[in-house]
Structure 1
Amino acid sequence: MADNNVVWHGLSVSKDERCDLNKQKPCLIWFTGLSGSGKSTIANALDRWLYDNGYHTYLLDGDNVRHGLNKDLGFSDEDRVENIRRVGEVSKLFVDAGVITLSAFISPFKSERKIVKDMFDDSEYLEVFINTPLSVCEERDPKGLYAKARKGEIKQFTGIDSEYESPDSPDIAIDTSIDSVGDAVSSIVQLLKARKILKSVL
């Protein structure tokens, strides 16, 4: 809770001015899904496509953020909620700066994702659900975390002994056991064009 003595300071450069300077419409593209589902891979590929096509972007990745901003947080339900709240606030700053922001986080709880969504106008928030089956994610196990969780070496691991609450109505759902990275990026780009965040013709 903010101290009563903390007063919001007005800034002379507006969000609209930053958007005009960047010549783009900013938004937050929020990737959610199980560990190993392909969130970071697709977000990174989309980030590369956007950059190569002249857009100003920044990618926030779950593991990377926990090395710095959120290194003081653990993996209890409470810490996971605070992890996502902080990322939401940082994402809001990037969007305010006129940047297309990509955030790739498991973000297992509907309530925490709603906290982030409510920080943005509807036109500025897109939820991408990487709906890859648990069995596929566990078979991939790129970091060896599922194996450790099954052995009891990691507690409260999402999908094993901590619940993942699937989105009810994501803006787009992608199953990386079926869709290639290229197809996933193409689908998201088409959605961004339909929402008039990206230009129809580059």
Structure 2
Amino acid sequence: MTMEGRITQQPLPLHAYKLLRRTTLNRLFMAVHTVGILALLYHHVHTLLFTTSSITFSLLLLLSDVVLAFIWGCSQAFHFRPIRRCELLHNLKEAVEEKDFPAVDIFICTADPHKEPPMGTVNTALSVMAYDYPPEKASVYVSDDGGAQATLFAFMEAAKFARHWLPFCRDNQLVERCPQAYFSSTSYSSPAAEADRLKVIS
């Protein structure tokens, strides 16, 4: 609530998270391990203070264990509170207007059409172009280091197919937007007539 008494609406969350079950076990393991490290360091310090022989070897052991303990401690930040995040995409358009979406540049690299079949590259490009994102905000670039004629021809044909595929994805709100994956999946059944026509075109 503001100073003038008006209620301000909280922005919609764009993600949520859930604490994983293994958190308690992780923290228990960290506690036991920490006790062991402290006991080891105490032993090293006690040896240094009360030894009558050369302290060089004991000092080196202490330094090495301190370094290893520091590295281990830094790595435990990922295990202290493990969570699983999920995106709330349905809130995106309500929280941010489409005109405020950032511009995105997407680069697809390929080189050898024998090792990277052009159909795979074409399917990648088509699925990226079919993203549920403002078309004027997304730019797709294909870099073919090999300059293969097969890749060029594949993209010339893909440009023709994209005129049908992109509206089809948007009109039917497809989740699987890669043509090859869509036509080989079990979800290929909804708009049967149009989907069959697209399969023939592809």
Q: Which has the larger radius of gyration?
A: 2
Query: Which structure shows the bigger proportion of residues in helix conformation?
Result: 2
- The TM-score range, normalised by the shorter chain, is under 0.3
Q: TM-score, normalised by structure 2?
A: 0.26
